């Protein structure tokens, strides 16, 4: 489809109110799914992040890396295992997680953003110990308390390092690895890190990129707007389950803790970030506390 010059001008004009509204505001973006593995989508994501920074917003990127971790685990003869949407992480798996998230994936994202004119800086929670974590234990009605290894829950986030980078026009790119009091590394679900970081930074928006159009009902229809009450109902009847549990829980906690709006968006859509933030249409589900 060819877009004429007048149509391009109209698109830019429609973006102006949103640019004005969100200027100087912080956006936390959880980057994952196909947008991290498809070359064209990766380039588009990096361009979007740079564009948002250039027009005066402060994007902070938190990334996952599940497929890349699984790929490297297979190469060393290990099979990925998940319980309640969380990766079981023994010490050998943790080494792989740190190598992939803190190294390969993080540096690729930083390089892509810098290639398109941004000033990205890669971080893990170990840097300045800014993500403090403790060991996470899961609970099950059948199995009781479940130990899933070096998986962490967040105790606290020190926002000063990220805020400093933001203020100097850098774009922080955060790998979801926390550190315990003993210096032990913890693998933390990226959705949870993004949500807690959005709360701590008092972000205007939290955007969670997925491989679905958003939150779907049992008939497969997109739910474009959700409240806390409606989400509780979707948890109760099993509509939200599996890998979506930590994502939606994180979104709901962030909305209840002062983040103005949480968006679950389809990362398979080219330039999904710009469509969601700078246009009326949007491309996913918006969650507010009420």
Annotated binding site for substrate: 65-66, 87, 187
Place of tokens 């319980």: 83
Indicate the DSSP class of residue 203: -
Between the CA atoms of 181, 185, 187 and 188, what dihedral angle is there, to the nearest 10 degrees?
A: 30
d(CA 78, CA 67): 14
Where does residue 236 rank: exposed (0-12), middle (13-18), buried (19+ CB within 10 A)? exposed
Q: Report the distance separating Cα 150 and Cα 250, nearest Å.
A: 20
Residues annotated within the binding site are: 65-66, 87, 187
Cα separation, 273 vs 248, whole angstroms: 19
Token pair 């469509």: residue: 275
Dig out the tokens for 184 from the structure: 């032990």
């Amino acid at each position: 489809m060819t877009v004429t010059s007048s149509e391009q001008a109209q698109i830019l004009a429609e973006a102006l109110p949103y640019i004005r509204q969100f200027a100087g505001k912080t956006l936390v973006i959880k980057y994952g799914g196909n947008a991290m593995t498809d070359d064209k989508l990766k380039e588009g994501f990096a361009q979007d992040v740079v564009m948002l920074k250039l027009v005066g917003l402060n994007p902070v990127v938190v990334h996952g890396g599940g497929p890349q971790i699984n790929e490297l685990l297979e190469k060393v003869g290990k099979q990925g295992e998940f319980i309640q949407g969380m990766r079981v992480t023994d010490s050998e798996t943790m080494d792989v997680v740190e190598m992939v998230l803190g190294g390969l994936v993080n540096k690729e994202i930083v390089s892509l953003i810098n290639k398109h004119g941004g000033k990205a800086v890669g971080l893990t929670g170990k840097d300045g110990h800014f993500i403090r974590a403790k060991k996470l234990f899961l609970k099950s009605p059948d199995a009781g308390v479940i130990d899933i290894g070096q998986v962490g829950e967040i105790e606290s986030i020190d926002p000063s390092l990220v805020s400093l980078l933001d203020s100097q026009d850098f774009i922080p790119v955060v790998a979801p690895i926390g550190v315990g009091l003993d210096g032990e590394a913890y693998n933390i679900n990226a959705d949870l890190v993004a949500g807690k970081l959005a709360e701590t930074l008092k972000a205007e928006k939290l955007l969670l990129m997925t491989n679905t159009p958003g939150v779907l009902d049992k008939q497969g229809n997109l739910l474009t707007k959700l409240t806390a009450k409606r989400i509780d109902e979707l948890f109760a009847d099993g509509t939200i389950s599996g890998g979506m549990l930590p994502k939606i829980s994180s979104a709901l906690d962030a909305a209840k803790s002062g983040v103005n709006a949480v968006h679950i968006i389809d990362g398979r859509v080219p330039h999904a970030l710009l469509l969601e933030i700078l246009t009326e249409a949007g491309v996913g589900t918006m969650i507010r506390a009420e």
